[in-house]
Structure formats: structure tokens, C-alpha cells
Amino acid sequence: MSSEGPASARDSRPPEEHLRQQRRTGDGWVETPQGRFWGLFGAAGLLIHDPDRGVLLQHRAVWSAQGGTWGIPGGALDEGETPKQGAIRECWEETGVPGPDGEGITVIGEYRVDKDGWAYTTVITQVTQRLEAHVADAESIELRWVPLDEVADYELHPGFAAAWPELLQVLRQHAAE
């Protein structure tokens, strides 16, 4: 399934409606010896696997960090939010799936990358029902279900590209169980 985003997602400038959105408690940059990262309390993304269609990838808006690349829906954690809660919230805000309380998925694992006190957690899930994602905000150009063996062929967000071999291993191990 392919869903095209608003024209503003293709623009290199953040859309005005995005700038006017209410700021969340986790919005902001963190500097560590390993770089500059978005999310005062860390960040998380949701990797959704549908055995019939592959994984849900997000073509990131050009104006976003590493814009124009493909990755998974996610973003900054709010204060007190767990990676699972934050990943589900961010994915729902950006794609309309899963339900706001995680309806339609089951968690099969987590993959955490620590950058000197700042962390990004990928919450790895599998669908429990067919999900129909759609571009729900200006952070995406497009959403697409991509077969597992084709993911590495996309121009991936560098962090997602680095994690993909291990994420793929988790998905394949789960499928073999």
C-alpha cells in the first residue's frame, strides 16, 4: 500500500502547521560526544511487521532530520513515557496505526542503541490484524509496506540502516518459532 503525503512533506522547509503544533515535553536536541540527537528523554520508533506484506516504512519529509530517507515512524519520548508508549503514540500520530493503545499489534522485542546517555529504542511488533496506514501528518512523504528482503534496497535513514541487520534477525527468529 502506498500513501502520498502532503506537498509540504516534499518541501525542505518545515510546514507552518507543523511549527504551530503544541510542543511536547520531549521536544528538543541533546548533545552527546557521539552527536546531536532529537528527544530530550530519548526517542523510539515502531517497526511493524505484517507477514503478508513486510514492514511499514516511512519516507521521511525532506525538512526533517535525514529527510528524504526511509525509516520507521517514531520520535521523541515525552517525560515519563516508556519506549513502547512513545513508539505507539508517534506511529499512530504519523500513520493512523496501530490504535492509540496499540490495538492491532503485539510486541515481539526491543532493540536499543545508547549514545552516551541518549537512547533510541526500536519496538519490534507483529500485526494481529490487517492495518491500513495512511499519511497522517507532514512528517511523511509516503508510507509503504516493504517485503523484508527489499528493505536494504531503499535509501534508509543511517540509524535504521545500521540497525536493520539485527532487526531483520529478530523478525526471522520470531517467524521460525
What mean pLDDT is predicted for residues 130-138?
95
Neighbours of 10 (CB within 10 A): 16
What CATH number is given to the structural domain containing 70? Answer: 3.90.79.10
Label residues 122-137 b or e (16+ Cβ within 10 Å = b): bbbbbbeeebebebbb
Per-residue pLDDT tens over the stretch 39-75: 999 999 999 999 999 999 999 999 988 999 999 999 9
Domain count, the chain: 1
pLDDT of residue 23: 72
Say if residues 77 and 42 touch (Cβ distance below 8 Å): yes
Cβ(98)–Cβ(20) under 8 Å? no
Residues 74 and 87: their CA atoms lie apart, in Å, by 5
Say what the pLDDT of residue 21 is.
Answer: 53
Give the predicted TM-score (pTM) of the model: 0.87
The one-character DSSP state at 79 is T
Range of the domain at 41: 2-176
